[in-house]
Structure 1
Amino acid sequence: MFQRILVPTDGSDLSKKAVRAAIRLAAGTGARLVAFHAIPKFRTFTLDAQMLEDTAGEYRAASAARARTLLAAVAAEARKAGVACDTAHASSDQPWAAIIREAKRKRCDLVLMASHGRRGLQGVLLGSETQKVLTHSTVPVLVYR
Protein backbone atom coordinates (compact mmCIF):
# COMPACT_ATOMS: atom_id res chain seq x y z
CA MET A 1 0.00 0.00 0.00
CA PHE A 2 2.18 2.91 1.25
CA GLN A 3 5.95 2.73 1.39
CA ARG A 4 6.91 6.17 2.73
CA ILE A 5 4.65 8.43 4.75
CA LEU A 6 5.64 12.04 5.44
CA VAL A 7 4.22 13.41 8.68
CA PRO A 8 4.80 17.13 9.33
CA THR A 9 4.78 18.19 12.96
CA ASP A 10 4.72 21.53 14.72
CA GLY A 11 4.52 20.10 18.23
CA SER A 12 0.87 21.07 18.78
CA ASP A 13 -1.53 18.61 20.41
CA LEU A 14 -3.35 17.96 17.14
CA SER A 15 -0.05 17.47 15.35
CA LYS A 16 0.98 14.91 17.99
CA LYS A 17 -2.29 13.03 17.38
CA ALA A 18 -1.57 13.01 13.65
CA VAL A 19 1.93 11.67 14.35
CA ARG A 20 0.48 8.81 16.39
CA ALA A 21 -1.98 8.05 13.57
CA ALA A 22 0.84 8.08 11.02
CA ILE A 23 2.85 5.67 13.17
CA ARG A 24 -0.13 3.30 13.44
CA LEU A 25 -0.69 3.45 9.68
CA ALA A 26 3.01 2.88 8.96
CA ALA A 27 3.10 -0.06 11.38
CA GLY A 28 0.04 -1.59 9.76
CA THR A 29 1.30 -1.22 6.21
CA GLY A 30 5.02 -1.75 6.73
CA ALA A 31 5.75 1.79 5.56
CA ARG A 32 8.71 3.94 6.54
CA LEU A 33 7.92 7.24 8.26
CA VAL A 34 9.49 10.60 7.42
CA ALA A 35 8.96 13.11 10.25
CA PHE A 36 9.31 16.73 9.11
CA HIS A 37 9.30 20.15 10.75
CA ALA A 38 9.24 23.46 8.87
CA ILE A 39 10.92 26.37 10.64
CA PRO A 40 9.59 29.83 9.75
CA LYS A 41 12.37 32.15 8.61
CA PHE A 42 13.39 34.99 10.95
CA ARG A 43 11.64 38.30 10.35
CA THR A 44 12.00 41.64 12.04
CA PHE A 45 8.26 42.28 11.58
CA THR A 46 6.40 39.33 13.04
CA LEU A 47 3.64 38.05 15.30
CA ASP A 48 5.97 35.37 16.74
CA ALA A 49 7.11 36.55 20.19
CA GLN A 50 10.30 34.48 20.01
CA MET A 51 11.44 36.39 16.93
CA LEU A 52 10.88 39.68 18.76
CA GLU A 53 13.18 38.59 21.61
CA ASP A 54 16.01 36.99 19.62
CA THR A 55 18.61 38.00 17.10
CA ALA A 56 18.47 36.18 13.78
CA GLY A 57 21.32 33.86 14.83
CA GLU A 58 19.76 33.08 18.21
CA TYR A 59 16.43 32.38 16.55
CA ARG A 60 17.97 30.00 13.98
CA ALA A 61 19.88 28.09 16.68
CA ALA A 62 16.87 27.84 19.01
CA SER A 63 14.55 26.83 16.16
CA ALA A 64 16.92 24.12 14.93
CA ALA A 65 17.26 22.78 18.49
CA ARG A 66 13.46 22.76 18.88
CA ALA A 67 13.10 20.95 15.54
CA ARG A 68 15.62 18.30 16.59
CA THR A 69 13.77 17.79 19.89
CA LEU A 70 10.34 17.51 18.20
CA LEU A 71 11.66 15.12 15.57
CA ALA A 72 13.60 12.99 18.06
CA ALA A 73 10.37 12.46 19.99
CA VAL A 74 8.59 11.29 16.82
CA ALA A 75 11.49 8.97 15.93
CA ALA A 76 11.49 7.49 19.45
CA GLU A 77 7.73 6.87 19.34
CA ALA A 78 8.06 5.27 15.90
CA ARG A 79 10.94 3.08 17.10
CA LYS A 80 8.78 1.82 19.99
CA ALA A 81 6.16 0.77 17.44
CA GLY A 82 8.76 -0.95 15.26
CA VAL A 83 8.49 1.66 12.50
CA ALA A 84 11.56 2.93 10.64
CA CYS A 85 11.68 6.73 10.77
CA ASP A 86 13.78 9.38 9.05
CA THR A 87 13.69 12.99 10.22
CA ALA A 88 14.23 16.28 8.43
CA HIS A 89 13.65 19.97 8.97
CA ALA A 90 13.95 23.04 6.76
CA SER A 91 13.58 26.79 7.05
CA SER A 92 10.88 28.26 4.87
CA ASP A 93 8.55 31.22 4.72
CA GLN A 94 6.02 28.81 3.24
CA PRO A 95 5.80 25.67 5.40
CA TRP A 96 3.28 24.12 2.99
CA ALA A 97 5.80 24.37 0.14
CA ALA A 98 8.57 22.91 2.31
CA ILE A 99 6.29 19.97 3.19
CA ILE A 100 5.57 19.28 -0.48
CA ARG A 101 9.27 19.61 -1.43
CA GLU A 102 10.30 17.18 1.31
CA ALA A 103 7.61 14.66 0.34
CA LYS A 104 8.91 14.69 -3.23
CA ARG A 105 12.58 14.66 -2.18
CA LYS A 106 12.05 11.62 0.06
CA ARG A 107 9.79 9.95 -2.55
CA CYS A 108 6.86 9.73 -0.15
CA ASP A 109 3.63 8.29 -1.46
CA LEU A 110 1.47 9.85 1.29
CA VAL A 111 1.46 12.96 3.44
CA LEU A 112 -0.47 12.52 6.68
CA MET A 113 -1.01 15.77 8.53
CA ALA A 114 -3.21 17.45 11.10
CA SER A 115 -6.21 19.38 9.89
CA HIS A 116 -4.82 22.66 11.15
CA GLY A 117 -1.97 24.09 13.18
CA ARG A 118 -1.90 27.77 14.03
CA ARG A 119 -4.84 29.32 15.81
CA GLY A 120 -6.04 32.80 16.54
CA LEU A 121 -4.68 35.81 14.68
CA GLN A 122 -1.72 33.88 13.21
CA GLY A 123 -4.09 31.30 11.74
CA VAL A 124 -6.29 33.96 10.17
CA LEU A 125 -3.37 35.91 8.71
CA LEU A 126 -1.31 32.94 7.53
CA GLY A 127 -4.13 30.63 6.48
CA SER A 128 -4.17 26.89 6.76
CA GLU A 129 -0.93 25.14 5.82
CA THR A 130 -2.94 21.94 5.46
CA GLN A 131 -5.29 23.59 2.97
CA LYS A 132 -2.31 24.81 0.94
CA VAL A 133 -0.72 21.34 0.93
CA LEU A 134 -4.05 19.86 -0.19
CA THR A 135 -4.34 22.42 -2.97
CA HIS A 136 -0.78 22.17 -4.33
CA SER A 137 0.47 18.65 -3.62
CA THR A 138 0.67 15.96 -6.27
CA VAL A 139 1.38 13.45 -3.46
CA PRO A 140 -1.84 12.14 -1.86
CA VAL A 141 -2.69 13.85 1.46
CA LEU A 142 -4.54 12.28 4.37
CA VAL A 143 -5.88 14.89 6.80
CA TYR A 144 -6.19 13.81 10.42
CA ARG A 145 -8.70 15.50 12.75
Structure 2
Amino acid sequence: MSAAAVEQATQLAKSVRARLTLLAVTEPFHIFASEPGRAVATLEDYQELTEARAQQYLTAAQEKATAADIRCDAIQVENEHPYQAIIDTAVARGCDLIAMASHGRRGIAAIVLGSETVKVLTHSKIPVLVYR
Protein backbone atom coordinates (compact mmCIF):
# COMPACT_ATOMS: atom_id res chain seq x y z
CA MET A 1 0.00 0.00 0.00
CA SER A 2 2.86 2.37 0.72
CA ALA A 3 4.27 1.93 -2.79
CA ALA A 4 0.90 2.89 -4.28
CA ALA A 5 0.72 5.92 -1.99
CA VAL A 6 4.21 7.00 -3.08
CA GLU A 7 3.18 6.65 -6.72
CA GLN A 8 0.04 8.75 -6.21
CA ALA A 9 1.82 11.36 -4.08
CA THR A 10 4.54 11.64 -6.72
CA GLN A 11 1.94 12.25 -9.43
CA LEU A 12 0.21 14.84 -7.25
CA ALA A 13 3.50 16.61 -6.49
CA LYS A 14 4.39 16.66 -10.19
CA SER A 15 1.01 18.14 -11.13
CA VAL A 16 1.38 21.03 -8.67
CA ARG A 17 5.19 21.33 -8.88
CA ALA A 18 5.60 20.50 -5.20
CA ARG A 19 8.53 19.13 -3.28
CA LEU A 20 8.21 15.76 -1.50
CA THR A 21 9.48 14.81 1.90
CA LEU A 22 9.67 11.04 2.11
CA LEU A 23 9.57 9.72 5.66
CA ALA A 24 10.25 6.33 7.19
CA VAL A 25 9.56 6.01 10.91
CA THR A 26 11.09 3.19 12.92
CA GLU A 27 10.11 2.32 16.44
CA PRO A 28 12.67 1.87 19.21
CA PHE A 29 13.76 -1.62 20.21
CA HIS A 30 11.44 -3.41 22.63
CA ILE A 31 12.13 -6.65 24.42
CA PHE A 32 8.54 -7.73 23.83
CA ALA A 33 7.17 -7.66 20.28
CA SER A 34 3.51 -7.18 19.35
CA GLU A 35 4.01 -8.95 16.03
CA PRO A 36 6.06 -12.13 15.44
CA GLY A 37 7.97 -10.51 12.59
CA ARG A 38 9.36 -7.91 14.98
CA ALA A 39 10.99 -10.45 17.30
CA VAL A 40 14.78 -10.25 16.95
CA ALA A 41 17.65 -11.45 19.10
CA THR A 42 19.52 -8.26 19.98
CA LEU A 43 19.36 -4.50 19.86
CA GLU A 44 22.06 -4.50 17.17
CA ASP A 45 20.09 -6.98 15.03
CA TYR A 46 16.98 -4.87 15.39
CA GLN A 47 18.74 -1.63 14.48
CA GLU A 48 20.40 -3.23 11.47
CA LEU A 49 17.12 -4.73 10.27
CA THR A 50 15.01 -1.59 10.72
CA GLU A 51 17.66 0.70 9.21
CA ALA A 52 18.01 -1.54 6.15
CA ARG A 53 14.25 -1.81 5.68
CA ALA A 54 13.74 1.96 6.04
CA GLN A 55 16.54 2.70 3.58
CA GLN A 56 15.11 0.18 1.11
CA TYR A 57 11.70 1.87 1.17
CA LEU A 58 13.16 5.38 1.03
CA THR A 59 15.52 4.55 -1.83
CA ALA A 60 12.70 3.05 -3.91
CA ALA A 61 10.47 6.06 -3.24
CA GLN A 62 13.24 8.52 -3.97
CA GLU A 63 13.99 6.78 -7.27
CA LYS A 64 10.33 7.18 -8.31
CA ALA A 65 10.35 10.86 -7.40
CA THR A 66 13.65 11.48 -9.19
CA ALA A 67 12.37 9.67 -12.30
CA ALA A 68 9.35 11.99 -12.27
CA ASP A 69 11.68 15.00 -11.92
CA ILE A 70 10.34 15.81 -8.43
CA ARG A 71 12.58 17.39 -5.82
CA CYS A 72 12.51 15.34 -2.66
CA ASP A 73 14.21 14.65 0.63
CA ALA A 74 14.30 11.23 2.27
CA ILE A 75 14.31 11.13 6.05
CA GLN A 76 14.33 8.30 8.56
CA VAL A 77 13.46 8.95 12.20
CA GLU A 78 12.96 6.78 15.24
CA ASN A 79 10.02 7.47 17.52
CA GLU A 80 7.96 5.51 20.01
CA HIS A 81 4.85 6.98 18.38
CA PRO A 82 5.08 6.93 14.56
CA TYR A 83 2.03 9.17 14.14
CA GLN A 84 3.72 11.86 16.22
CA ALA A 85 6.92 11.59 14.20
CA ILE A 86 4.90 12.04 11.01
CA ILE A 87 3.16 15.14 12.34
CA ASP A 88 6.32 16.60 13.91
CA THR A 89 8.30 16.13 10.69
CA ALA A 90 5.55 17.71 8.59
CA VAL A 91 5.36 20.72 10.91
CA ALA A 92 9.16 21.13 11.14
CA ARG A 93 9.54 20.99 7.36
CA GLY A 94 6.59 23.30 6.62
CA CYS A 95 4.61 20.69 4.71
CA ASP A 96 1.24 21.71 3.28
CA LEU A 97 -0.13 18.17 3.10
CA ILE A 98 0.56 14.77 4.61
CA ALA A 99 -0.02 11.98 2.10
CA MET A 100 0.07 8.46 3.48
CA ALA A 101 -1.20 4.95 2.96
CA SER A 102 -3.76 3.27 5.12
CA HIS A 103 -1.97 0.31 6.69
CA GLY A 104 -4.98 -1.91 6.19
CA ARG A 105 -5.24 -3.58 9.59
CA ARG A 106 -8.70 -4.92 10.28
CA GLY A 107 -10.66 -6.32 13.19
CA ILE A 108 -8.98 -6.95 16.52
CA ALA A 109 -5.50 -5.99 15.26
CA ALA A 110 -6.76 -2.53 14.35
CA ILE A 111 -8.47 -2.12 17.72
CA VAL A 112 -5.61 -3.40 19.84
CA LEU A 113 -2.71 -1.88 17.92
CA GLY A 114 -4.53 1.24 16.81
CA SER A 115 -4.13 2.83 13.44
CA GLU A 116 -1.29 5.25 12.84
CA THR A 117 -3.33 6.70 9.99
CA VAL A 118 -6.28 7.41 12.30
CA LYS A 119 -3.93 8.95 14.86
CA VAL A 120 -2.42 11.25 12.22
CA LEU A 121 -5.91 12.19 11.03
CA THR A 122 -7.03 12.85 14.60
CA HIS A 123 -4.03 14.89 15.77
CA SER A 124 -2.74 16.70 12.69
CA LYS A 125 -3.57 20.32 11.97
CA ILE A 126 -2.07 19.80 8.50
CA PRO A 127 -4.46 18.29 5.93
CA VAL A 128 -4.02 14.53 5.45
CA LEU A 129 -4.61 12.62 2.22
CA VAL A 130 -5.00 8.87 2.75
CA TYR A 131 -4.43 6.44 -0.09
CA ARG A 132 -6.12 3.05 0.04
**TM-score computed with the length of structure 2 as normaliser:** 0.91
Q: In structure 2, the residue corresponding to 1:38 is in which secondary structure?
A: strand
Distance 1:82 1:132 in 2: 32
Report the count of equivalent residues: 132
Distance 2:47 2:105 in 1: 20
- Equivalent AA in structure 1 for residue 23 of structure 2: F
Q: What is the root-mean-square deviation of aligned Cα atoms in Å?
A: 1.6
Structure 2: any 5+ residue segments left out of the alignment?
A: none
Distance 1:85 1:120 in 2: 35
Structure 1: any 5+ residue segments left out of the alignment?
A: 1-13
Distance 1:97 1:54 in 2: 27
Identity of aligned residues (%): 42
Residue in 1 that maps onto 2:93: 106
Is residue 23–residue 81 contact of structure 1 (8 Å, CA) maintained in 2? Answer: yes
Q: 1:30 pairs with 17, 26, 43, which one?
A: 17
Distance 2:112 2:48 in 1: 26
**TM-score computed with the length of structure 1 as normaliser:** 0.83
Residue in 2 that maps onto 1:76: 63
Matches within 5 A, 1:1-145: 14-118=1-105, 122-145=109-132
Structure 1 residues 18 and 51, CA gap change in structure 2 (3 angstroms): closer
